[in-house]
Amino acid sequence: MNRLHVLILCPAERFGGAEVYLVGLIEALGAAGHRVTAVVGTEVHHRLAALPRAASATLVEDNHIVWDWSVGPVENIQRQQAMLAGLLDRLPSTVDVVPFVNLNWLSVGTGLMAELTARRLPSVALVHLCPHPIDLTDAERMILRASMRGPVRWVCVSRDNRFFIADSLRAPEGDIRVVHNGPANTATLDDAALAERRGQRPALRARYGFRAQDRIVLTVGRHDTQKGFEEAIAVLRDVARVEPDIHYVWVGGGRCSALHEALVRHNRLQNLVTLVEETDQVDDYFLLADLFYFPTKYEGFSLALVEAASFGLPIIANDVSSVGELLDGELSRGLCRTAWHWQHVECMVEMLRLSPEQRAAIGTATRARAKSFSRDHMYSRMMDIITKSRDSHEQAD
């Protein structure tokens, strides 16, 4: 196998799920003997530098790569293109260099795509999120579509996202590959291990201050407007009127954390809602929960959703973008229409009133479905695409 120099280009302003993905990719590339350089902005640099799993990468902090939402696309495109041109010109050779553009939003790397297309440098672009419809200028659409037809192999994380990207760019779906996200525990948490860990539930609940009779609804996700926190709180308040033992736990950090904490205090919901900062102990919360609630308004392909399924939790979720790719068949009973408040309330009450055996049966089905998605498979597929990127483009999925 040829040893490559993978040049990760990350235009994200903040460290989120798309940037967490990079940590595992850096680790996998390093283990395979490839050289990795990651060009990132200040916040992402700060987070990656603190993670031992990303230690094999050379980190380059350059805020010229970051997409600045306070200015227009033309300025962003010109700045990114100039930054990448200078970087590539300083390399002794690009023979073994494979740029990997990590896009937390479809359009945030348009200047990078312009330069890669101009140089006809074989590259890979991974799109984590593309809401539908997405607002693009004609220039952005033209640049992105040209990169797809040229040297850049496009990859996304769900079939729905593939459709959204293709429709937004007016490009063929067949030009975009799909590699679903997958968490580590789907491969390592076998049935016997899960059963043993479930035996710890009473002790875990006591450790975290919950009563034995509490029925715990869990969400794991960033505090961001996309994730539906305010809508979730409204749903849980109405559920609590008929199910007084319910308790809602939200695990995660993010730019809206302080705002959401203030919202809980202002509405005097401390007895109903517990906010937990981002933690390495998130598995404990999956184990002590009774069901998982996913009120997101749009999504790429959520690792948290698959993790909840891998722990055998019944799931209630908005039927948006890629969610139906996990909750298909019988599991679709937990899908709700976006913004249909009372459907969410009724679905949650119904799920909580099922017997433990009935909920366990639903959880077994979600767990079986989750086994289709794993981190090992995700990175194996992506590594294959990267290492073959200098060959002719393969047939898309």
What is the C-alpha separation between 360 and 362, in angstroms, rounded? 5
Query: What is the mean predicted confidence (pLDDT) over 267-291?
Result: 94
Whether residue 133 has a cis bond before it, omega within 30° of 0: yes
Look at residue 39 and give its three-state secondary structure.
Answer: strand
What's the pLDDT tens digit per position in 165-214? 999 999 999 999 999 988 876 556 788 888 888 889 999 999 999 999 99
| CATH 3.40.50.2000 assigned to 5-182+375-387 | yes
Kindly provide the residue ranges of all beta strands, DSSP E only, lying in the chain, ordered along the sequence: 5-9, 35-40, 57-61, 97-103, 123-127, 152-156, 176-178, 215-220, 246-251, 273-276, 291-294, 315-318, 335-336
Closest to 223 (Cα-Cα) out of 248, 252, 247, 249 = 252
Chain centre distance of CA 341: 25
Tell me the chain's radius of gyration from C-alpha atoms.
22
Three-point CA angle 200, 206, 207, nearest 5°: 85
The predicted structure's pLDDT at residue 167: 95
The predicted structure's pLDDT at residue 329: 62
* Domain 185-370, CATH: 3.40.50.2000
The predicted structure's pLDDT at residue 393: 40
Look at residue 222 and give its three-state secondary structure.
Answer: coil
CATH 3.40.50.2000 domain span(s) along the chain: 5-182+375-387, 185-370
